[in-house]
Structure 1
Amino acid sequence: MASPQSIAGWIDISPAALRKLRAELELHDKSVLDEMGVGAIHTGYADLFFPGTSVLHTRARYLLFVPWIYLGLAAHPRARAERVRELKEKAELWLTGCLRAHAQENDDGIIGGRVYPEPPAQPPDFAYWSALREYRLYEGVPRAQLLARWDRARIMPREDVRTREDRVDQQPLGLFDVPSLPAWWMQEDANVSFQLEADEAEFLRDRLAQRRPPCLLGVAAALLGKRARPTARTLWGDPFMRRAADVFDRDHSGPDLRPASAAAALQRADGASALAELVRAIYAALVELLREQDLRAAGRLPLPEDHAHYREYLRSYWEEDDGETVRRARDLPLQGLKADIQLPGRLPELLAHVQARVSSIRRASEVQARLLDSTTLELFTSLEWARKRTRARLPRRDGRGRREGFGKGTVRVADINYRWPMVSRMLRDIQEGLPDV
């Protein structure tokens, strides 16, 4: 009698499903839900300025750690196809453990550090694979196929293809073009940190700068120097990035490049961030208003103390913000925004409506009449229903149950950062590793 065969297997995620999953992760950055679809603005400008990056990125050295994991497996005599995933996870846990053991104060960004010694839900290669391809650190089959078709003899550093004639005629599954595997790799007493060696920092700076077509991230990487690095909380408010945009426009601008003008696109990204923040505030205030009506209709009085939290917050843009967010949103040229990035569905209609209403308000007392009126409610309800029917809160009848328990803290109203916290951290990592810096 034949022995039973296991039907357990590895389920690979298709490229389309992977793109969808990454997009959803973008929308949940810092727990900001995207009920109105303004996350498309975040993704559009982030991909325009910083192609290949992700909200899952933490530190620049992972751009080398991930290739070294695979090159280490290729050099491992027992890394056969049936064991490769087990050994890959072992290497990832070794890396996490080393980083945790030698972490400096406030040395954050360790992927899987919080769940160690359990493996993280998204391992480092999941987060960084697009960047490896974008900046030519990897060339070959997709990540899932690399593991499914594993043949360690066909996983190699590009230097091997350049120097070893006996391997030139082999069709590689994957080529990693990175500095050589360190001697300390997978050693028990290895002192591993996020600090880049000088040659590693120069390599990453040059590889980002050589990206074609050129992008703002590449220009910024090329400008890194002794006192040249990101310092500001916001992308558009950072003098270093404004200089990078000016250099981009001087050296690379043209009708066939996106953006045609990086400096102008940065300014529009600023206004789009403010407008998206107001959209989120209006959404929260509308849900809150309907929730109050639900409570009154049910006779559940007195109302909670914070029953008008989001409406007061919305008014504060005209009272306590000195009108700065309002001014940025009002001055955004929507035609320029649509030229920069793709706005799906009815998002342009939503942005035009909100901008027009915001521009018409002269004092805080007009906020509820102009921004929480029946026309605005109808538009927001229609768009939310089209996007997320099973999660929609605004429909009066169908959303009533989802409004239950809604209150202060349910929705986090925030602007859009376009992955700037992650990108600026990576640029600083490279700058700190450069020689004579």
Structure 2
Amino acid sequence: MAAFTSTVGWIDISSAALRTMRAELEGQEKGVLDEMGVGALHAGYADTFFPGTSVLQTRARYLLFVPWTYLWMASQRRSSPENAGALKESAEAWLISRLRETERGNGIIGGEVYPRPPVQPPDVAYWTALRTFRLYDGSASRAQLLARWDRRRILRRDDIRRGDEDLDEPPLGCFDVPGVPTWWMNKDHEVRFSLEPKEAQFLRDRLVASQPGFLLGMAASMLKKSRRPTSDRLWDDAFMLDAARALDERNGGHGERTASVVQAVERTRGASAIAEMVRAIYAALVEGQREIDLRRAGRPTPDDVFAYRNGLYDYWSGNEETTVDEAAALDLAGLAGDIHLPGDLRSLLDHVQSRLQSIKRAKQVDALLLDSSTRELFTRIERRRKRGRARLPESDGLTRREGFDARTVRVEGLDFRYQVTRRLLLDLHGGLFP
């Protein structure tokens, strides 16, 4: 991490650390442990369909709030490298305080820790989006912008178009957004997430122009008063499937050289299901080893010591049969054509799918999903992924299994950042058709 001195001791996150943090968050979507690497399915499809999005993002208007923060800082004659961090924090604190008055905490970055500054401020969540959607262009990264702060070299695109003769050097950073509103930093002004019509049209135009070959850009272009996302799940959303079909048609069909976007979207159903099954198996395997640890130590076992194993049984004896069917029916060759699959992950998915296809009833789970060969495969992969942190290895994972219980792992499928994308599209829709 790179630290920069300010009157409040502000600390920035380096680009490398930011990339690492994003990767960890993608791998632990919604707090779900990703010891087996199925987060690669989530990130792979999310980057294919919705580049520029992040699990950290909440509301579309932050795409304007973040540039306005920097442009306001640049407008302050007293701003300097020494106080840039403090100025940025003051603007972010003002924004949080105003949003807390109107939005009741819904999607406010830093709202839960206010008045303390958030560990991950809005620009951390939105910087990649600003570049991807062509709202920011400059030689400086987010960290460099503050480290090399020069307010004269932080500009808005329209200012450059008019010609700025005061610059001795090219801009460090350039934001292509509407101008900072007059109410910015007014302590009495009401601030909301709702986009104004002109703001929504601007953002839609930018999304469409910056992502012509991606599902996000096509979906943004197809928003109409009566057409918008309607489902919580990507593969079940008729609007998104229509956008995928339109993208296929524009690409000239899906022959040998062009993969079908519709089929890729439909495969996310099975990808989510098989990821859920991998997580369920992993949790049951660790739980079983934890039970052995307790017996060997002569310690009592809790009543829910086999909660994950019983949950795994429920996929065949309860109401979750469709998850198994979807995972078993997934076209793994098509999946590998859609996104990159690391070698270990492809081997894991092949193994799990073949076992799922063989199981007909819950009694077969122990023999086919909790057996020694499955345990060895999962252990080997976890050890490679989490050196020094793996839970499954019998001996060196002993201390890391301490405290493992029915609350440790959340067993659920993948989202592919669709909740973030859906919220973005709905924010655009609300501004376009108030």
Q: Secondary structure at the match of 1:156?
A: strand
Q: Are positions 1:231 and 2:241 aligned together?
A: no
Give 4+ residue runs of structure 1 displaced > 4 Å after superposition: 6-14, 167-170, 253-259
When structure 1 is superposed on structure 2, of 130-139 and 328-337 the one drifting more is 328-337
Could you tell me which runs of 5 or more consecutive residues in structure 2 were left unpaired when the two chains were aligned. none
- Report what 1:19 is aligned to: 19
Alpha-carbon offset, residue 156 of structure 1 = 0.8
When structure 1 is superposed on structure 2, of 247-256 and 275-284 the one drifting more is 247-256
Q: Secondary structure at the match of 2:234?
A: coil
Question: Structure 2 CA distance, aligned partners of 1:152 and 1:253?
Answer: 47
Aligned length: 428
Deviations 1:290-332 (A, max 9, x none): 112222223334x321122111111111122352111111111
When structure 1 is superposed on structure 2, of 412-421 and 53-62 the one drifting more is 412-421
Deviations 1:17-75 (A, max 9, x none): 32122111222222101111111111111111110110000000000000000111111
Question: Structure 2 CA distance, aligned partners of 1:143 and 1:361?
Answer: 51
Maintained 8 Å contact 1:161/1:168: no
- Report what 2:421 is aligned to: 423
Q: 1:258–1:60: structure 2 CA closer, same or farther, 3 Å change rule?
A: farther
Q: Secondary structure at the match of 1:347?
A: helix
Q: Secondary structure at the match of 1:416?
A: coil
- Report what 1:210 is aligned to: 209
Maintained 8 Å contact 1:253/1:261: no
Question: Structure 2 CA distance, aligned partners of 1:38 and 1:96?
Answer: 35
- Report what 2:54 is aligned to: 54
When structure 1 is superposed on structure 2, of 343-352 and 281-290 the one drifting more is 343-352
Question: Structure 1 CA distance, aligned partners of 2:10 and 2:195?
Answer: 34
Match for 2:50: what amino acid? F
Match for 1:145: what amino acid? Q
Maintained 8 Å contact 2:10/2:85: no
Question: Structure 2 CA distance, aligned partners of 1:160 and 1:256?
Answer: 46
Maintained 8 Å contact 2:15/2:142: no
Maintained 8 Å contact 2:212/2:218: no
Q: 1:185–1:77: structure 2 CA closer, same or farther, 3 Å change rule?
A: same
Q: Secondary structure at the match of 1:210?
A: helix
Superposed, 1:350-369 pairs within 5 Å as 350-369=348-367
- Report what 2:120 is aligned to: 122
Question: Structure 2 CA distance, aligned partners of 1:61 and 1:319?
Answer: 46
Maintained 8 Å contact 2:248/2:254: no
Alpha-carbon offset, residue 259 of structure 1 = 7.5
Maintained 8 Å contact 2:382/2:392: yes
Maintained 8 Å contact 2:10/2:86: no
Q: Secondary structure at the match of 1:395?
A: coil
Question: Structure 1 CA distance, aligned partners of 2:222 and 2:91?
Answer: 34
Superposed, 1:319-330 pairs within 5 Å as 319-321=317-319, 323-330=321-328
- Report what 1:66 is aligned to: 66
CA RMSD after TM alignment: 2.2
Alpha-carbon offset, residue 252 of structure 1 = 3.1
- Report what 1:251 is aligned to: 250
When structure 1 is superposed on structure 2, of 325-334 and 371-380 the one drifting more is 325-334
Question: Structure 1 CA distance, aligned partners of 2:344 and 2:253?
Answer: 30
**Taking structure 1 as the reference length, what is the TM-score of the superposition?**
0.93
**Taking structure 2 as the reference length, what is the TM-score of the superposition?**
0.94
Question: Structure 2 CA distance, aligned partners of 1:131 and 1:7?
Answer: 27
Q: Secondary structure at the match of 1:346?
A: helix
Maintained 8 Å contact 1:41/1:272: yes
Q: 1:68–1:210: structure 2 CA closer, same or farther, 3 Å change rule?
A: same
- Report what 2:31 is aligned to: 31
- Report what 1:3 is aligned to: none
Maintained 8 Å contact 1:161/1:167: no
Question: Structure 2 CA distance, aligned partners of 1:65 and 1:254?
Answer: 39
When structure 1 is superposed on structure 2, of 403-412 and 324-333 the one drifting more is 403-412
**370, 375, 378: which one aligns with 1:377:** 375
Superposed, 1:280-299 pairs within 5 Å as 280-299=279-298
Match for 1:396: what amino acid? E
- Report what 2:187 is aligned to: 188
When structure 1 is superposed on structure 2, of 179-188 and 10-19 the one drifting more is 10-19
Q: Secondary structure at the match of 2:210?
A: coil
Question: Structure 2 CA distance, aligned partners of 1:322 and 1:423?
Answer: 27
Maintained 8 Å contact 2:6/2:85: no
Question: Structure 2 CA distance, aligned partners of 1:259 and 1:167?
Answer: 49
Identity %: 57
Q: Are positions 1:93 and 2:93 aligned together?
A: yes
Alpha-carbon offset, residue 249 of structure 1 = 0.8
Maintained 8 Å contact 2:132/2:210: yes
Q: 1:293–1:117: structure 2 CA closer, same or farther, 3 Å change rule?
A: same
Q: 1:178–1:351: structure 2 CA closer, same or farther, 3 Å change rule?
A: same
